[in-house]
Amino acid sequence: MNILKSKVVIIGAGNVGVSTAFCLINQGLCDEIALIDLNQEKAFGEVLDLSQSMEYMNRNTAVKVGTYDDCRDASIVIITASVPVHNARNDRLKMLEPTKKVMRTIVTEIMKSGFDGHLIVVSNPVDVMTYYAYKISGLPARQVIGSGTTLDTARLKYFIAQKIDVDPRSVHALVIGEHGDSEMIPWSTVRIGGKDIYSVVRDNEARIGKDPYDEMKAETIKAGWEIFNRKGNTCYGIASSTVGIVKTILHNENRILPVSTLLQGEYGHDDLYISVPTIIDRTGAKEIVELDMTDEEFKEFNQSCEHLKSFYDCLDD
């Protein structure tokens, strides 16, 4: 009898990588986790710490220090490794050149192993790096997914929920476009308990103001830096967002998430990785959902697309 196991490899044992590993263990989503990092002593320490937490988890997940050979039979490889951010005012896209070199090395080693699973890219600038990983890996586009605006969407829902005083999970909203300053919110699609956001604002003007949209968008965009400036990193939000993608794949959920995926004519764009609502199942990014947006929203989304495309020339070696 051949019993298949689910194995996740995480490349990068920094705050994001280790938080992702802990989130996977806490939710009991896979049989085995391999943690790869240039600093093997750091990786070993994290593996010991994670392994010794197992007594109080729902299942005994095997955790080990990995090598790139572990990618060969992995269901999912998550890339969190990136260059350090020293200045919170830096645009994520300024990290492009140094991160590109790191990404090429990592993806080349992954593919040498014979890997043919799902590649989830978290490293910033995530949309450009996911496109780059897709190009150099040779994997089908549906198997290469960027974390994109999954976290931005969670943050937006949090800010809306705070203003209205409801559970964020009762808010149905999306942030799409670049994971960065050009991201946009198609407000015309936002619903709270089935009620459109404009009606909710109109009926609760005394509590949340007459026109809170720009404020909530600004809060969403700067949320990561608000955390970074206080604690020096962000890890829990992006880890839970990444594990949300992993869970959707491993459990074949057909859940719609705003991930960075390849547009091939959708929304009028081609050969572009950007965040749009996407149906995800065990095959990966199964189908893109094309939103019915207003003309102004389409214009804003197109601007985000063109902004990202302008960096593709920098990827040529």
What does the pLDDT read at residue 89? 45
The structure tokens listed for 160 are 């809306």
Confidence (pTM): 0.94
Cis check for the bond before 212: say yes or no (omega within 30 of 0): no
What does the pLDDT read at residue 83? 76
What does the pLDDT read at residue 99? 86
What does the pLDDT read at residue 254? 98
- Is there a contact between 132 and 260 (Cβ–Cβ < 8 Å)? no
Q: How far apart are CA 271 and CA 127, in angstroms?
A: 12
Quick one: angle between helices 236-250 and 15-27, nearest 10?
Answer: 50
Q: What are the Cα distances from residue 81, in Å, to 109, 180, 211, 283?
A: 14, 18, 39, 24
Q: Name the amino acid, one letter, at 14.
A: G
What does the pLDDT read at residue 3? 58
- Is there a contact between 22 and 83 (Cβ–Cβ < 8 Å)? no
Q: How far apart are CA 128 and CA 98, in angstroms?
A: 13
Active-site residue set: 179
What does the pLDDT read at residue 210? 86
What does the pLDDT read at residue 317? 61
The structure tokens listed for 267 are 């929304």
Q: How high is the mean pLDDT in each 10-residue block of the chain (317 residues)? A: 81 97 97 97 98 94 97 97 62 73 96 97 95 97 98 96 93 96 96 95 87 93 93 94 98 98 97 98 98 97 95 80
